[in-house]
């Protein structure tokens, strides 16, 4: 046989043998045999930014590597599901109080370069943390260089025409600092709160204690109007005022005044509200401005429909009571805003990690989840001796500490707590709905969105261990392992 034919027959026989073997295997195979396929790759749909602060301070508002946004995968990871269509309250901003003490330190204990650098870091969201809401004291508080109002007179004198009204004392430090801040952040929101009217308007003729005389209700309304106009003349807009700081705390060694709910109601309804309307004043009026432990104060005033028509909402402090109380006021009057306007850190609590988590749970995540439109700490800045003091808190801590000899700045836990919100959640954004499933013990969160569709979520992990979580939005997800005792802000489109 020719060699080529032999080779053909050999190959043909081998082929028949292989086909036979395959046929046998197919005939013997079962429909239940497993099919082996390579694992499917999860498609990446985008990226999310993440900024992290850890309780051990190894990360301080640190930008970490981006997270992947992927198609949704069903699993048992604890999950936060967000609903962008469920719009809650609009956010007006995050910040602190430019008290007389804070303004003095910034204006007089720092060089021009130090001051500019600090204010840019505090109020520019690109160069720093972008604080967007401030509180100021209308006259003196427990953090001023002295007691004063804008119409102080010798004992026995009165000035019902307010001819001697003057903000000259504020022009020493408060006005120039607010002007420089406004140059950096022109849209900054400012709230004014009085600790006391002028002494001659009060029942005890003293800045400390007493009540507002009934015959002074009209002139005190004029006083607020003149304050707003005086600051407008300095190119500083006042977005809102509260009628009285802490009206139920009136035995202090610094300016203070008692004002009952019924007194505040009459003052707003019959005097301040109409006076603002008569003069075209757009500044909002805010009630109460005291602790969580009393909800009836604000609710009882809002129950008066005439007063309510003049009022933007109610303000709270965090020194007593529970943050959930704010939702009780919201539920009673859903058409009025809520504001969180004061809390201070201090030497009574110095552990950074514990303070970070407490601030998240109670003040930042806590208040915004309970309908607050803003969050304000107390002093923006204090010195290394917790002052300058004016017979108030002896060991309070500012958002930053300024050394009164060198101008050197120390950033405190309140700085980083605020920064996780203020840098990323801007005025005009709103809180959006979010729900959880799975084991969320020790984890807290809140979510926001803006008009462009950008989302921001702040997550706090108070556990001693890292926790893997998933954020679910429609058919997309982000997974992240948040370190123990840390706070993370996640931003995505």
**Cis status, amide bond into 388, omega within 30 of 0:** yes
Do residues 320 and 279 lie in contact, with contact meaning Cβ atoms separated by under 8 Å?
A: no
Measure the CA angle with vertex 402, ends 400 and 405; round to 5°.
170
Nearest to 88 by CA among 429, 417, 363, 326: 429
Query: For residue 34, what are the contacts with CB-CB under 8 A and spacing of at least 6?
Result: none
Is 246 annotated as catalytic?
A: yes
Catalytic site residue from 246, 258, 414, 444: 246
Gyration radius of the chain's alpha carbons: 31
- CA 235 to chain centroid, in Å, comes to 25
Q: What are phi and psi of 488, to 5 degrees?
A: -130, 140
- Edge-first strand order for the sheet with 400-402 is 381-382, 400-402, 409-411
The Cβ of residue 252 has, within 10 Å, a number of other Cβ atoms equal to 15
CA 195 – CA 449 distance, rounded (Å): 36
Query: Using N-to-C axis directions, what is the helix angle for 112-123 and 100-108, rounded to 10°?
Result: 130
DSSP states along 114-164: HHHHHHHHHH-TTTS----EEEEEES--SSSSS---SS---TT---TT-TT
Catalytic site residue from 92, 121, 284, 342: 342
Indicate which residues carry an active-site annotation. Answer: 246, 342
């Amino acid at each position: 046989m020719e060699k080529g034919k032999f080779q053909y027959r050999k190959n043909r026989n081998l082929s028949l043998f292989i086909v036979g073997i395959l046929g046998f295997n197919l005939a013997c195979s079962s429909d239940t045999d497993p099919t082996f396929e390579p694992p499917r790759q999860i498609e990446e749909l985008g990226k999310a930014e993440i900024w992290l602060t850890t309780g051990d301070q190894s990360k301080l508002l640190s930008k970490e590597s981006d997270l992947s946004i992927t198609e949704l995968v069903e699993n048992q990871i604890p999950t936060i599901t967000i609903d962008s269509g469920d719009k809650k309250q609009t956010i007006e901003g995050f910040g602190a109080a430019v008290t007389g003490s804070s303004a003095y330190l910034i204006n007089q204990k720092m060089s021009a370069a130090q001051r500019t650098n600090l204010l840019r870091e505090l109020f520019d969201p690109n160069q720093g943390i972008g604080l967007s809401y401030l509180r100021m004291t209308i006259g003196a508080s427990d953090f001023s260089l002295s007691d004063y109002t804008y119409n102080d007179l010798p004992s026995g004198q009165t000035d019902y025409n307010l001819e001697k009204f003057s903000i000259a004392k504020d022009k020493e430090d408060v006005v120039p600092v607010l002007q420089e801040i406004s140059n950096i952040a022109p849209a900054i929101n400012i709230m004014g709160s009085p600790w006391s009217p002028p002494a001659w308007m009060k029942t005890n003729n003293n800045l400390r204690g007493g009540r507002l005389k009934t015959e002074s209700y009209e002139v005190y309304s004029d006083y607020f109007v003149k304050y707003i106009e005086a600051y407008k003349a300095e190119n500083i807009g006042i977005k809102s005022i509260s009628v009285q700081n802490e009206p139920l705390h009136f035995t202090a060694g610094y300016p203070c005044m008692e004002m009952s709910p019924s007194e505040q109601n009459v003052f707003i309804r019959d005097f301040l509200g109409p006076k603002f309307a008569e003069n075209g004043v757009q500044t909002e009026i805010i009630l109460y401005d005291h602790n969580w432990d009393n909800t009836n104060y604000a609710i009882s005033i809002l129950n008066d429909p005439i007063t309510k028509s003049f009022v933007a909402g109610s303000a709270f402090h965090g020194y007593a009571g529970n943050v959930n109380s704010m939702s009780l006021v919201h539920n009673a009057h859903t058409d009025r805003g809520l504001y969180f306007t004061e809390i201070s850190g201090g030497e009574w609590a110095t552990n950074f990690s514990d303070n970070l988590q407490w601030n998240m749970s109670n003040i930042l995540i806590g208040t915004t989840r309970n309908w607050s439109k803003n969050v304000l700490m107390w002093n923006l800045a204090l010195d290394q001796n917790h002052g300058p003091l004016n017979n108030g808190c002896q060991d309070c801590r500012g958002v930053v500490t300024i050394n009164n000899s060198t101008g050197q700045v120390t950033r405190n836990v309140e700085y980083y707590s605020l920064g996780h919100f203020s840098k990323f959640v801007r005025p005009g954004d709103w809180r959006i709905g979010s729900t959880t499933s799975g084991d969320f013990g020790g984890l807290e969160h809140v979510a926001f969105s803006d008009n462009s569709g950008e989302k921001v979520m702040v997550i706090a992990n108070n556990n001693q261990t890292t926790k893997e979580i998933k954020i679910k939005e429609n058919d997309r997800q982000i997974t992240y392992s948040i370190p123990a005792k840390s706070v993370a802000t996640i931003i995505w489109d």
